[in-house]
């Protein structure tokens, strides 16, 4: 078991802040929709000069895990920076989108010819907003026999076209994924008490799926579409992660919460 000795490093603009030197608290969400997720990082008692060098729009990365096993859990763009006082402490809160802010990226109108494939439209929309396509594995590459008109927010266009293909679409660590949560080349992570499982999974069922809410010690490998071989008293079997949050602190929570689908 390698889950010993907490590690967290925040890097931006040739600066690195380590949990060894600074009190760091963070919440890093992940899910399966095309809207960028917003992470929040708090760092205690940075100098004024350092704070002024943390710039909106710049790339920020975070590594987290343990002394013998850590990896990237966040790669995105700083959306805001603010600093507040709490007694003698100065706390800088950095919000980070896991892609550039895409909310204002809109298409006035693009008309696609008859028999255009959905994959062509998705790739073109991704290029338009500058998102690299990490994976595209459509359940069905839908053919628009009467053509297609793209209009409005680009992320909505991509989501609608992917839905016509019966496929999920999401952004993770600055890349676009168009694929089923249950398909792809993901490695399998065995989650049990020995590898970090916390407590007992809690069963849930909603309109579209059923599964378990699961908590584990912080695990950077777990993110959207991660494959989990879960071994617990309540359930043993393979599951596919839909969403969750990494929670990081020096002395408090250092865990990954997830919704895992059957």
Q: Is residue 171 part of a domain?
A: yes
Structural domain containing residue 168? 106-179
Residue 207 lies in a domain: no
Whether the per-residue pLDDT at 1 is higher than 90: the answer is: no
135 forms beta bridges with 177
Residue 186: predicted pLDDT? 67
Kindly report, residue by residue over 121-130, the tens digit of the pLDDT: 999 999 988 8
In a domain, 235, yes or no: no
| In-domain check, residue 146 | yes
Instruction: Note whether residue 32 is domain-resident.
Output: no
pLDDT at 100: 74
CA distance 154 to 116: 18
Q: Binning pLDDT at 50, 70 and 90, where does residue 181 land? A: confident
Q: Is residue 224 part of a domain?
A: no
10-19, 149-158, 181-190, 204-213: segment of lowest average pLDDT:
181-190
Report pLDDT for 61: 97
Which pLDDT band holds residue 2 (cuts at 50, 70, 90)? low
Domain count, the chain: 1
Tell me how many degrees the CA angle 14-81-67 measures, rounded to the nearest 5. 50
Which of 119 and 180 is assigned the larger pLDDT?
119
Task: Using the predicted structure, report yes or no on whether residue 203 has a pLDDT greater than 80.
Answer: yes
Q: What is the pLDDT of residues 64-117, one digit of tens each?
A: 999 999 999 999 999 999 999 999 999 999 999 988 777 668 889 999 999 999
pLDDT tens track for 215-239: 999 999 999 999 999 999 989 999 9
Share of residues in the chain with pLDDT > 70 (%)? 97
Residue with tokens 């071989």: 229
Q: Is the residue at 138 inside a domain?
A: yes
Q: In the predicted model, what is the mean pLDDT of residues 138-157?
A: 95
CATH of residue 173: 3.55.50.30
Residue 145, domain member (yes or no): yes
One DSSP character per residue, the chain reads ----SEEEEEEETTEEEETTTS-EEEEEEE-SSSSPPEEEEEEES--HHHHHTS-TT-EEEEEEEETTEEEEEEEEEEEEEEEEEETTEEEEEEEEESS---TT-EEEEEEEPTTEEHHHHHHHHHHHHT--EEEEE-SS--EETT-EEEEEEHHHHHHHHHHHTT--EEEETTEEEEE-TT-S-PPEEEESGGGTEEEEEEEEE-SS-EEEEEEEE--TT--TT-EEEEE-SS-EEEEEEEEEEEEE-SSS--EEEEEEE-
- Cα 90 from Cα 155, distance rounded (Å): 37
For the chain, what percent of residues have pLDDT higher than 90? 83
């Amino acid at each position: 078991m390698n889950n010993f000795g907490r590690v967290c490093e925040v890097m931006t603009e040739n600066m690195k802040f380590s949990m060894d030197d600074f009190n760091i608290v963070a919440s890093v969400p992940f899910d399966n929709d095309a809207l960028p997720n917003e992470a929040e990082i708090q760092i205690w008692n940075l100098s004024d000069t350092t704070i002024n060098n943390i710039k909106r729009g710049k790339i920020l990365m975070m590594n987290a895990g343990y002394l013998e096993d850590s990896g990237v859990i966040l790669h995105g763009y700083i959306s805001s920076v603010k600093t507040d006082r709490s007694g003698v402490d100065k706390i800088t809160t950095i919000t980070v989108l896991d892609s550039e802010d895409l909310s204002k990226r809109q298409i006035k109108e693009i008309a696609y010819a008859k028999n255009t494939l959905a994959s062509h439209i998705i790739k073109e929309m991704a290029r338009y907003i500058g998102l690299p396509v990490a994976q595209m594995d459509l359940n069905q590459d839908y053919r628009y026999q009467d053509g297609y008109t793209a209009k409005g927010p680009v992320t909505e266009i991509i989501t609608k076209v992917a839905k016509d293909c019966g496929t999920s679409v999401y952004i993770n660590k600055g890349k676009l994924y168009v694929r089923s949560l249950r398909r792809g080349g993901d490695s399998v992570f065995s989650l049990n008490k020995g590898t970090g499982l916390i407590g007992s999974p809690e069963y849930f069922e909603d309109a579209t799926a059923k599964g378990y809410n699961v908590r584990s010690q912080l695990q950077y490998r777990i993110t959207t579409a991660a494959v989990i071989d879960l071994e617990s008293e309540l359930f043993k079997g393979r599951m596919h992660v839909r969403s969750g949050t990494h929670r990081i602190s020096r002395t408090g929570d250092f865990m990954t919460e997830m919704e895992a689908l059957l």
